[in-house]
């Protein structure tokens, strides 16, 4: 046991210092825990906002792709209709050429000129 006054004073100072350090560590830990909870909440909110933004962007891109596909389908249908019309015109001109009584002549007659002009 410490019986000298200096020894008791040193022991008391060490005990007080230990209590101060323990109080500081406790307060510091609680502050850290509060900050951790606070920033975890902020991070969770930012993560949720990022997920919502990502989903909105995916939906926007899907809508634009669907619009693009619809325009492409309309253009393809138009081109197909034009191709069908040209095919019918070619068949009609070939039929007229095969029925032309002057088909074997070396000179071009008026019906042949009209058929050629239809192609232009």
Residue 106 lies in a domain: yes
Q: pLDDT tens digits for 8-65?
A: 888 889 999 999 999 988 888 888 888 888 999 999 999 999 999 999 999 999 999 9
Residue 2 covered by a domain: no
- Report if residue 45 sits inside a domain: yes
Which pTM does this prediction carry? Answer: 0.50
Is residue 112 a contact partner of residue 102, using CB atoms and an 8 Å limit?
Answer: yes
Mean local confidence (pLDDT), 66-74: 98
Total count of domains within the chain:
1
For 23, the domain range is 8-115
97 touches 109 (CB < 8 A):
no
Q: Is residue 33 part of a domain?
A: yes
The answer to the question of residue 3 being in a domain is no
Is residue 89 classed as helix, strand or coil in its secondary structure? helix
120 domain-assigned: no
Residue 78 forms part of a structural domain: yes
Asked if residue 90 is part of any domain, the answer here is: yes
Closest CA to 116 of 49, 100, 83: 100
């Amino acid at each position: 046991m410490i019986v000298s006054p200096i020894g008791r004073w040193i022991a008391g100072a060490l005990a007080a210092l230990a209590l101060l350090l323990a109080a500081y560590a406790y307060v510091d830990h609680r502050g850290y825990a509060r900050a951790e909870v606070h920033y975890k909440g902020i991070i969770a909110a930012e993560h949720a906002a990022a997920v919502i933004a990502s989903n909105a962007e995916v939906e926007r891109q899907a809508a634009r792709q669907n619009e693009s596909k619809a325009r492409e389908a309309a253009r393809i249908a138009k081109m197909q209709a034009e191709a069908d019309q040209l095919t019918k015109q070619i068949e009609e001109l070939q039929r007229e050429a095969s029925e032309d009584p002057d088909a074997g002549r070396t000179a071009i007659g008026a019906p042949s000129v009209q058929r050629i002009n239809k192609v232009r």
